[in-house]
Amino acid sequence: MPADLLPAAVLFDMDGTLIDSEKAWDESLVGLLRWLVGSDTADLTPEARAATLGGSLATSLAIVFREAGVEPEPELVEQGRRRLVDRTGELLTQGVAWRPGAQSALRTMREAGIPAALVTNTGRYLTETALQQIGRGNFAVTVCGDEVPRGKPAPDPYLRAAELLGVPAEECVAVEDSPTGVAAAEAAGATVLVVPCEVAVPAGPRRVLRESLVGLTPDDLAAAMHRVRAGV
């Protein structure tokens, strides 16, 4: 594939896309809910779970407080934030599985000379914990949710990653698993390769759906960009 037909960069989401960390987030979110309501059996509704996928820490906290029926007083929200971050960090440290094909996809892009960015709504502290497993060397740049004015579904994280890489977002392919992340990448103007994890993601004009990252090649990325630009 000629170099001028390849994307300028690949922008990878983290949770649910590269690593199967959504289960860790789910456990810590349920733990927070149970702490707030004082019950060991309380659980998030399926709708609430789905709403937290790919979201920012602030969004997830607001959803749990709403589910708990507890007024989000600033001091209590800060206590909840610390509990959520600490517990999720513990779970990530214990080890998180790669999503199918993700590790080889990163290696393939590196060998092809295509820069990769990690673009996540997760804050820097937890991202650094995850990067101990994922490998910082896989990415030219990393952008976290607490380093931009607005997290996903706003385009800010993807626009910042493209800026740091020195390339237009429109010439990049973003790899995402959630509706929230897909909306952010689309708003930034990137082609979006959608690899669903926990929830289904509907088709859209800038989206190319793929079952998994297994066998992903640079040619696949070029084909995705072509399909989006041609409106196929």
Instruction: Give pLDDT, residue 4.
Output: 59
pLDDT tens digits for range 139-152: 999 999 999 999 99
pLDDT tens digits for range 205-223: 899 999 999 999 999 999 9
Task: Give the C-alpha separation, 192 to 137, whole Å.
Answer: 23
pTM over cut 0.85: yes
Instruction: Give pLDDT, residue 3.
Output: 53
Instruction: Give pLDDT, residue 24.
Output: 86
What average pLDDT does range 105-128 have in this prediction?
Answer: 95
Instruction: Answer for the pair 43, 33: CB distance below 8 angstroms, yes or no.
Output: yes
Mean pLDDT: which of 16-25, 92-101, 110-119 is highest?
Answer: 110-119
Instruction: Give pLDDT, residue 45.
Output: 92
Quickly state the pLDDT bin for 94 (edges 50, 70, 90). Answer: confident
Which stretch of 21-25, 37-41, 100-104, 142-146 has the lowest confidence by average pLDDT?
21-25
